[in-house]
A and B are shown apart, each in its own frame.
Chain A
Amino acid sequence: MTDDYEHYEAVVVGAGPGGAAAAATLARNGIETLVLERGVDAGSKNVSGGLLYAEESSPYTIDDLFPGFREEASDREVTEHYIHNIAGRNVKTFDLHDLHHHDTEWADSVLRRKMDSWLAREVHEMTRETGGGLLTEVRVNGLLREGAEIVGVTLDELDPIKADVIIGADGVNSELARDAGLMDWEEPDEWFQGVKAVAQMPEGAIEERFDVDEDEGVAHLFSGDLFENVRGGGFLYTNDQSLSIGTVFHLDSIADQRAEPQELLDNLLTHPLLADWIGDEYTELEYSAKLVPDSKKVAHPSPYRDRLLLVGDAAGQMQAQGPIIKGMNHAVTAGALAAEAFVDAKSRGDTSAAGERYVTKLENEGVMDKLRPTRYRTLGRLGEVGPVASAMNAVTDSVVGRTAISALGDRAESLFNSPFLMGMLPDTRMGYVTVPTVVAEQLGSPVEGESTVEPPELDDRIGDLTYDVDEGNPHIELRDNSFAASGTAVTACPVSAKDFGGGCYRDEYVGSNGTEEHVVSLDTQPCVECGTCAVVADTNWTHPRGGKGVEYEQG
């Protein structure tokens, strides 16, 4: 009796920037819009590195859609941007000014709990005018179908809801995208994993230590040998009263090298280069993690099915432009375009055409080309093919390569600032490790000082997080608990570690009388819902029910 289900013109799943942008645009056009958010508060489930860009070429920016956004919801405007190439103590710093400002109207540091909860209040006000509103603690768990056609959503807490359009803005681990067959969790090389610590700063310390005004901020990026050959890099952004310090790695690299993400983050936190910025007192407010889609590989060229339109991370819309990662701005654009597509389709009397129109808009507005640059498709991929990659790597590290880089000198800085080159770089060890390391060794100079930072142990990091555990309802199920199938999660999971019993994944030997089996066990209590184990282990992965699980205060 699906006819009895409640119906809205539009249902938006997820109250992040993509969902908020979609809902705001729908509401402005008088579309009856219901927004569903599984967290206790919007932002309580959301993490980002922390830089939100507004691009000049973009048809929508967040402050267009939400006047007052920058005053109320973001932290500092990032006015300076550097990358540090590190080899041991040797550091060579390049100013990324040109790359940072390329097509940039502004870029602000943000903390997602503050940002998303502000957006959600705005969205609630706007959508309730249309007869809808925003509900928190409600988890959409799948798609409602009539025959084969998607007509609505199913929920843990409520009866199914039908809609003329469903905006799937439910994040990187989108259950809707997976239900619709538009995304999967199969290949680790399609994902990055980000881990972040938010560190408290005394009043006035940011202005003093980073030499900025009260409303200005700095972004620092880090690459080189401080991450033990794992492909990726680090970042440090200044918030109003805290620092966001984190690392982002290719998930396949983390998995293959059995790397412990929290230790790689600690390598960054304790590097002497950061000692003066962090200061003598290191107070970690929050430890967090998230998966990041590699849009070059997974940005869906046609992110819709029937009435379901995916936006943001759910559609893989996350651009790594060399060292600069842009995600939230694309989610905002895509959200607004998806809404616009529905409004157009409705005014033409055929709401079922919304998906096609959305795809056309993504192409026409240039979003798709940013996410999947043509030049990467032709050149970059080639560079990742095994023999080519190792040959390039060997050349760079050879005397010839070293001489070339020395000869380049400060001209290397301008190469790093080319958005064209950065979009083409293959994802190999060369770009992340070898080049920066050689640059630092040949061109850099040693940093003074010692770090006194003592990052918390993993059990304390977990202990400091807030959880509402859904007792008796673990949201992740291990399908195969053999170490061979799921053991990678013990190291790759950001809240698990080898020889640590308090994490999600623990390796154990069971059996007696000589036959011993190497297995893993899973406790979802400390889970931060990043989705890493969905990719690297054999699981049935879902989000916890509405309001349950981890609650980020910073995000």
Chain B
Amino acid sequence: MPEIDPTDHEIAELGPKIKDVDDADELREMLELEESGEDRAPVKTLIESRIEKLEEEDEEVDPSSADLDDMTVADIANLVRDVDDVTVLEDMLEREQAGQDRKTAKGQIEDRIESIEGSEDEAGEELEYVPPEEKHPDLDHPTNDKQWVENIDGGTYRDMWVYCETQHGELIDVSREMLGKARELMDDYNDRYGVSDEVGGSEDSSSGGDEDGNPEDVVAVLIGDGASDLTEEVIAYGADRVVYHEDDRLERFRHEPYTEIFCSMARAGGQVADEDHEDVEWKEYDEPRYTVFPATNNGRDLSALVQGELDSGLASDCSGLYIEEAMISNPAKTGKPGDSKEFDRILHMKRPDFSGFEYSTILCIDKPFRDFHPQGASVIPGSFEIPEADPEREGEVIDFDMDLNDDWFQVEVTDFDTLDSGIDLTGHDVIVAMGRGIGDAPTEGIELGLDLVDAFDDAAFGLSRGVITSSYDFDGHVEQYIGEDRQIGESGQVVEPDVYIAAGISGAIQHKVGMDESDTIIAINTDPDADISGFSDYYIEGDLFEVLPRLTEAVESGELAAAVAEASDD
């Protein structure tokens, strides 16, 4: 009797159980029991496939006698993987030559021979570089036109470069977030990677940083028509150096010139610099060690192009970054099968998987005969904190001089839409906001609110969500004031004026969070129990249609301003 009688179990339980049975005969007995019992098709399938699998494992093919003619190339590839005896392999090679003489099959066997003989050599043997076109003469070489592909090997890399994206001449938040993170990473980097005794290095033993003990920097890159205006700000947020290029043609993001400029900056002063930038005062290394871009629409575009052009990789849409050693055993990276090698100063780039349940950590590591630098990432906005700006910070500013080729501007922007940025209710002295209390005569209610706005020197007109989502029938002349761009509250704007006048607004929590930081809140409502009475400084119980005109009058005659000024002094 087998240990498990399948007829005692539900299908769902059987799956995992059957997986643990390793005896094909026992499985056959189970199959018989099932057939004479419940005879469930999926159960039989489960058992049969397990039997099949076990028997496959048993059917070991002996490589020294296998009939290669019967085998596919893939089978041969699998077979040779486990053979360590070169004479067996050479025998196989002869048999293949005598038989079908498939080039691909021979290649598999030869590779295996090579890898075994290679690993038997004494340690320390140098790998020999064979250019791809010699190694694979039959292949096309699309990489040929990537002119830098082989040029850097054992190059020098330093610093963390941060591409600071701007919009309408201002830094966007993610640029500040990246600067803060870069500052933190490089401070830690400079602390951690000191000078090792063997190398000697700088005289100041407390310093750390690159392989010679010189600290590495955070380098901010600014490209755009008003780039020079922002250099101080990026230094305040943590950059040691700012490299910028300014040109009127760069008013909006254009990926070709932006890529050319960034790459020219990154290569300047190194072995692959362009003609005009072979010698620059501010940089001697070949390329940045690390690059960080924002994972915005434009940042994603630029990051992919730049990293491609610099012949490195890109970890896109990351949410975490740290620098650490990595122990790698992949022979493509270590150069020797079976060996593990520690790579240091590796930027670990964490990115969320689809589900948010898992993270992948991406590493970008040099391999023999080809460097993969800069190690580059794009960063999801909001992943890091915006740092506190330090206006006292000092840094070096480099105006990167460069001729922009007209060809880069062949794509012409003929037309564009500005997304309606709407109405900014913040920054006013006074806000008059109207709620559903206007329901009896919506148009008149809005008019009264607007009259009060006009009575102040600097006031703006806002609405509660309840008005915006209503079906009120507004007359044409006030309709323009009814829209989501005037909404105050959780899903609208958050305001904190000196005086907030809420007319006919009950003050639900969603509205409250948009205005309760206002200095003085004046509420007008017919319902004395309305929530807003609990957080207003002045509560006027009354109908807004009567109260607002009188309030407007009071403001115009200066009475209200005086009253409020007095009250807020208390």
Contact = CB atoms under 8 A, between A and B. Distances in A.
A512 B466 CA distance: 20
Contact of B10 (A64, A509, A512): A64
A155 interface: no
13 contacts: A28-B16, A29-B42, A124-B355, A124-B357, A133-B357, A340-B12, A346-B42, A459-B508, A501-B435, A506-B470, A521-B471, A522-B469, A523-B469
A343 interface: yes
Given A124-B355, A343-B11, A463-B508, A521 B42 contact: no
A460 B510 CA distance: 10
Contact of A134 (B355, B466, B473): B355
Interface of A: 24-25, 28-30, 59-60, 64-65, 121, 124, 133-137, 336, 340, 343-344, 346-348, 459-460, 462-464, 469, 471-472, 481, 501-502, 506, 508-512, 519-523, 525
Given A459-B506, A521-B469, A522-B469, A472 B42 contact: no
Contacts of A65: 12
B314 to A, nearest CB: 22
Contact of B472 (A29, A137, A472, A508): A508
- Point out which of B12, B40, B46, B469 has the most chain A C-beta atoms below 10 A from its C-beta: B12
B465 interface: yes
Given A135-B354, A136-B356, A525-B491, A501 B471 contact: no
B169 interface: no
Given A25-B11, A462-B508, A522-B469, 17 more contacts: A24-B12, A25-B12, A29-B11, A29-B42, A59-B10, A64-B13, A121-B357, A124-B355, A135-B354, A340-B42, A459-B506, A463-B510, A501-B506, A508-B471, A511-B473, A512-B443, A523-B466
B436 interface: yes
A471 B469 CA distance: 12
Nearest to B509: A463
How many chain B residues sit at the interface, stated as a range, is 35 or more
B12 A64 contact: yes
Contacts of B443: 512
Interface string B517-536: 00000000000000100000
Interface in B461-502: 465-466, 469-473, 484, 490-491
A59 B355 CA distance: 31
A525 B470 CA distance: 13
A460 B509 contact: yes
B127 interface: no
A134 B354 CA distance: 9
Contact of A520 (B44, B471, B473): B471
B61 interface: no
A422 B392 CA distance: 79
Contacts of A28: 12, 15-16
B508 A134 contact: no
Interface of B: 10-13, 15-16, 40-42, 44-46, 354-357, 435-436, 439, 443, 465-466, 469-473, 484, 490-491, 506, 508-510, 531
A249 to B, nearest CB: 26
A502 B473 CA distance: 19
Contact of B42 (A124, A343, A471, A506): A343
- Point out which of A64, A65, A343, A502 has the most chain B C-beta atoms below 10 A from its C-beta: A502
Nearest to A137: B356
B469 A459 contact: no
A30 B16 CA distance: 10
B12 A344 contact: no
A483 B436 CA distance: 18
A521 B508 contact: no
Nearest to B439: A508
Contacts of B13: 64
Contacts of A344: 40-42
Contacts of A511: 473
A398 B305 CA distance: 86
A403 B424 CA distance: 73
A535 to B, nearest CB: 21
B31 to A, nearest CB: 14
B510 A521 contact: no
A525 B511 CA distance: 12
Contacts of B473: 510-512
B469 A347 contact: no
Nearest to A478: B471
Contacts of A336: 12
Contacts of A64: 10, 12-13
A471 B491 contact: yes
A522 B42 CA distance: 51
Contacts of A460: 509
B69 to A, nearest CB: 33
Contacts of B484: 471-472
B355 A135 contact: yes
A290 B490 CA distance: 25
Contacts of B510: 462-463, 502, 525
A364 B366 CA distance: 63
Contacts of A60: 10, 12
Given A135-B354, A347-B45, A508-B439, A523 B11 contact: no
Contacts of B470: 506, 508, 521
A132 B332 CA distance: 29
Contacts of A59: 10
A136 B358 CA distance: 12
> Nearest 3 pairs between A and B by C-beta?
A463-B509, A523-B469, A521-B471
Contacts of A464: 509
A310 B424 CA distance: 49
Contacts of B15: 28-30
B471 A481 contact: yes
- Point out which of A137, A348, A462, A508 has the most chain B C-beta atoms below 10 A from its C-beta: A508
A29 B44 CA distance: 12
A525 B472 CA distance: 18
Nearest to B49: A30
- Point out which of A124, A462, A512 has the most chain B C-beta atoms below 10 A from its C-beta: A512
B38 to A, nearest CB: 12
A65 B470 CA distance: 49
A510 B506 contact: no
A471 B465 CA distance: 12
Contacts of A509: 439
Contacts of B46: 29
B543 to A, nearest CB: 16
A113 to B, nearest CB: 16
Contacts of A471: 484, 491
Contacts of A29: 11-12, 15, 42, 46
A343 B564 CA distance: 75
Contacts of A347: 41-42, 44-45
A519 B471 contact: yes
Contacts of B40: 344
A288 B13 CA distance: 36
A29 B13 CA distance: 10
A65 B490 CA distance: 42
A520 B470 CA distance: 8
A513 to B, nearest CB: 11
A214 to B, nearest CB: 31
A464 to B, nearest CB: 8
A41 to B, nearest CB: 9
B191 to A, nearest CB: 38
B414 to A, nearest CB: 27
A467 to B, nearest CB: 8
Contacts of B471: 481, 508, 510, 519-521
A522 B466 CA distance: 9
Nearest to A339: B12
Nearest to B529: A457
